[in-house]
């Protein structure tokens, strides 16, 4: 295998892993109680993904494939200990994997809707949102910066969040119809 191709494969695998790691971690946590066992299993899944990535069909969801590998590692874990999974049965693990996959696929649409809705906000509202969520300023700091009261800033941010939530719902609903 040539170096450029290896690098491209490694980059794709890393990108897929980083977007799916939290869901895989949650899946494992649903099946294994011990924190150290969960972390060991996550590492095993990561190694398995790395070893078998060339088998992955990129026309299908990565998370579903990775969760299938995780399920195998979980079953192997319990087998090696001579036990049955304690928290979730096999059928429930499959349903949990499906739900995680569906949720991850919805995130990009939600993010895009949020970005469009943010663009539609008046400049002052966009500035307040930026100060709170991008800059990480506290309510008191924002109030001081814009020469307002903390109560007024709280109410304004509440209304902005409410407007954004409604905008996102409308956008997602209209995209579902199309």
Mean pLDDT of 66-83: 86
Shared-domain flag, residues 95 and 129: no
Mean pLDDT of 158-178: 85
pLDDT given at position 135: 86
Residue 28 in contact with residue 41, Cβ under 8 Å?
A: yes
114 part of a folded domain:
no
Q: Pick from 79, 105, 131: which residue ends a domain?
A: 105
Cite the DSSP H helix spans in the chain.
3-29, 35-52, 62-80, 90-120, 123-129, 139-146, 150-177
Total domain count, the chain = 2
Shared-domain flag, residues 9 and 85: yes
Range scoring the smallest mean pLDDT among 105-119, 132-146, 160-174:
105-119
Shared-domain flag, residues 98 and 134: no
pLDDT given at position 107: 62
Shared-domain flag, residues 22 and 101: yes
111 part of a folded domain:
no
Residue 55 in contact with residue 110, Cβ under 8 Å?
A: no
Q: How far apart are alpha carbons 85 and 175 in whole angstroms? A: 40
Shared-domain flag, residues 24 and 85: yes
Shared-domain flag, residues 148 and 100: no
Residue 46 has pLDDT above 70, yes or no: yes
Torsion of CA 95, 99, 105, 111, to 10 degrees: -170
Shared-domain flag, residues 98 and 125: no
Q: How far apart are alpha carbons 1 and 132 in whole angstroms? A: 48
43 part of a folded domain:
yes
Torsion of CA 104, 24, 18, 65, to 10 degrees: -80
Shared-domain flag, residues 20 and 98: yes
Confidence of residue 98 (pLDDT cuts 50, 70, 90): low
Confidence of residue 176 (pLDDT cuts 50, 70, 90): low
Confidence of residue 160 (pLDDT cuts 50, 70, 90): very high
Confidence of residue 133 (pLDDT cuts 50, 70, 90): confident
Could you tell me the residue range of the domain that residue 142 belongs to?
A: 121-178
pLDDT given at position 42: 94
Question: Mean pLDDT for the chain?
Answer: 84
């Amino acid at each position: 295998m040539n170096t450029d191709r290896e690098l491209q494969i490694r980059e794709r695998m890393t990108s897929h892993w980083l977007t799916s790691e939290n869901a895989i971690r949650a899946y494992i946590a649903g099946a294994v109680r011990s924190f150290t066992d969960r972390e060991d299993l996550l590492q095993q899944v990561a190694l398995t993904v790395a070893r078998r990535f060339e088998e992955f069909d990129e026309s299908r969801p990565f998370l579903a494939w990775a969760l299938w590998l995780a399920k195998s590692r979980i079953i192997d874990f319990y087998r090696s200990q001579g036990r049955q999974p304690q928290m979730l049965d096999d059928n429930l693990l499959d349903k949990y994997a499906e739900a995680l996959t569906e949720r991850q696929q919805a995130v990009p649409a939600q993010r895009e809707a949020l970005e469009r809705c943010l663009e539609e906000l008046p400049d002052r509202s966009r500035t307040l949102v930026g100060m709170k969520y991008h800059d990480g300023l506290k309510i008191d700091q924002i109030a001081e910066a814009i020469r307002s009261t903390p109560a007024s800033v709280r109410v304004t941010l509440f209304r902005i969040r409410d407007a954004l939530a409604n905008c996102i719902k409308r956008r997602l609903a209209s995209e579902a119809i199309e």
